[in-house]
Structure 1
Amino acid sequence: MLSCMVNKQIKRNKILMEILTQRNQYTNSKQSIYLGTMDQANARWAFNASKWTPTFEQIMAASSYIQPEEKQRISKYVFQDDAKSSLIGRLMLRKFVHTTTLLEYQNISFGRDGRGKPYLIGTGDITVNFNVSHQGDYVVLGGSEGKNIGIDLMKIEPPANKNIPEFFRIMRRQFSDHEWKTIYSYFKESEQIACFYRMWCLKESYVKNIGLGITVALN
């Protein structure tokens, strides 16, 4: 019985490491799955979720590493790709915490504050901050030891069911006059929407950094 449990744990660890340590194998490839930098205190990671096509066994093994309440949140996603990206984000958080604090995976536990922002439980004097975002093909993580951090990700594409002028009209109040002047300084609509999304990501990253979410004026 003990041997069976040990073998099962080894298998789970192997699958988790296959998911989270593909960087060395793929960083120099055009088909990069896992890109980023890591030092003792900071992480900037991007994971191409579209390149990971897990088996049912891998999904179950990966899910076994996250907390029940995290599984419940993931189960609420309507689309399978969003659920997969959310799962990858949870695993990236655990990888960052493990690497930074040397906590064993089974001892890593997250809570959420009143605004829904995750934080690490039970680390004493160790302070680590992290933020995850996902959209389209990618999941990104920013992590820092001792400093607040926010990160956001947007796929640059035309807005759904609206032309760009109409979309900008609806979003008018979210940007200052100076920001709109910057957006409209580009001639092509494709460049305007790219500038819009870049500014939006900066705003989202800022409010995530200060822990408020979209509850403050963005203009």
Structure 2
Amino acid sequence: MPIARWAFDIRQPLLLEHIEPLVTSLTADNGPNIVPVTNLLNFLPKIECDRILRFRAEDDMRRALIGRLMIHAFFAAHHGCHWEELVFSRSETNKPILLKPDHLRNISFNISHHGNWVLLVGDTSVESTLRLGIDVMDFQKQVPEESFDTFLRCFQDQFTKGELAFMNSAPLDQDASSRSDDQFRRFYRLWCLKESVVKTLGVGIDFNLQSFEFVIQNEEEVLEPTLSTRMDVYVPSDLLPREGWFFEEALLDQDHCYAIAALTDTPESVEQGSVMDGSVITRLDWKELLKDAVPYPFS
């Protein structure tokens, strides 16, 4: 498989059996076998721990912590790295980047988290020139009483006419509430795809999202990956090329969708199946996530 695609449900309880051999001091505030996830800060360098501990909401802290662990686990599993020797920094757009080992600096990887899920995509080949982006969205309304039309007014300049038509063409043979829910789902699906492109390019939130348009072939999302979605680029540039794009999107569950974008510099020599193979995303548990983990030296 050319790329690793991982998903982790943050609602999984962290059990004592998952980490007992790895740490010497544990607390069990939530029960005899459930351990607070803050014990896992032992497996990250202090600079990353300090950033994670700034989050006030428990779920925000869990998502950030799991995301950092997933990045370490990816490089340990697919590139043979020693967990505690990995050194990361951040780009100008706050995207995690690898500093050490030097020979893996160009490996593309990306993290996204929203709702109950944290997702990672990463290139498993050292020779590959792929650039990758991933995004996950929770379908739940941010403002439960808000109508779709009111909600969309704030985002209309982020979408093309074709994308707006796709959102507004949700089936009419339902009651108004159900149709509104479907419109929200289509919005989040398109937003997820847009974000996957922005993250692949490594640009900021001011990037012109109307410079490209998604054309949805399969109107209904399912748990099996959809590979038929395509992107038309209206304003091509060195930063946003017209060719070389591959996409995968699917549901994680009935409340969450995800999208992956891959960009290659050599589109003429790359086929869809060699980038996105249609296999279902790998869902990790704590044991799999932490199998290569070792505590970082205290500093």
TM above 0.5: yes
Cross-structure match for 1:11: none
The one-letter code of the counterpart of 1:215 is D
Structure 1 gaps of 5+ residues are 1-38
State the Cα deviation string for residues 120-169 of structure 1 (Å, max 9, x = none).
Answer: 11223333211111111111111114321111111012231522211011
Q: Indicate yes or no: 2:10 matched with 1:49.
A: yes
The answer as to whether partners of 2:147 and 2:180 remain within 8 angstroms in 1 is no
The one-letter code of the counterpart of 1:209 is T
State the Cα deviation string for residues 53-92 of structure 1 (Å, max 9, x = none).
Answer: 4676553441112122222221222210110111011000
Equivalent residue for 1:89, pick from 67, 72, 85: 67
Alignment of 1:112-123 (within 5 A): 112-123=90-101
Partners of 2:38 and 2:189 lie apart in 1 by 36
Q: Secondary structure at the match of 2:119?
A: strand
Q: Secondary structure at the match of 1:98?
A: helix
The answer as to whether partners of 2:10 and 2:63 remain within 8 angstroms in 1 is yes
Q: Indicate yes or no: 2:201 matched with 1:210.
A: yes
The one-letter code of the counterpart of 2:181 is S
Partners of 1:87 and 1:79 lie apart in 2 by 12
Partners of 1:60 and 1:169 lie apart in 2 by 40
Partners of 2:38 and 2:154 lie apart in 1 by 42
Alignment of 1:117-156 (within 5 A): 117-126=95-104, 127-144=106-123, 145=125, 146=128, 147-156=130-139
The one-letter code of the counterpart of 1:109 is V
Equivalent residue for 1:197, pick from 183, 188, 205: 188
Structure 2 gaps of 5+ residues are 17-25, 28-34, 172-178, 211-299
The one-letter code of the counterpart of 2:158 is Q
Cross-structure match for 2:147: 163
The answer as to whether partners of 1:183 and 1:192 remain within 8 angstroms in 2 is yes
Structure showing the higher helix proportion among its residues? 1
Structure 1 length as normaliser, TM-score?
0.76
Partners of 2:83 and 2:103 lie apart in 1 by 19
Further displaced range: 163-172 or 57-66 = 57-66
Alignment of 1:2-21 (within 5 A): none
The one-letter code of the counterpart of 1:175 is F
Compute the displacement of 1:201 (Å). Answer: 0.5
Compute the displacement of 1:43 (Å). Answer: 0.8
The answer as to whether partners of 2:6 and 2:121 remain within 8 angstroms in 1 is yes
The one-letter code of the counterpart of 1:181 is A
State the Cα deviation string for residues 167-212 of structure 1 (Å, max 9, x = none).
Answer: 0111111111111011111131111111110100111110100111
Q: Secondary structure at the match of 1:152?
A: strand
Stretches of 4+ aligned residues off by more than 4 angstroms: 53-58
The one-letter code of the counterpart of 2:142 is P
RMSD: 1.8
Q: Secondary structure at the match of 1:153?
A: strand
How many pairs does the alignment contain? 180
Label 1:54 to 1:212 Cα distance change in 2 as closer, same or farther (>3 A): farther
> Once the two structures are aligned, what percentage of the paired residues are identical?
31
Partners of 1:200 and 1:169 lie apart in 2 by 14
The one-letter code of the counterpart of 2:100 is G
Label 1:97 to 1:159 Cα distance change in 2 as closer, same or farther (>3 A): same
Q: Indicate yes or no: 2:165 matched with 1:181.
A: yes
Further displaced range: 153-162 or 112-121 = 153-162
Label 1:162 to 1:72 Cα distance change in 2 as closer, same or farther (>3 A): farther
Label 1:100 to 1:213 Cα distance change in 2 as closer, same or farther (>3 A): farther
Partners of 1:121 and 1:52 lie apart in 2 by 32
Cross-structure match for 1:63: 41
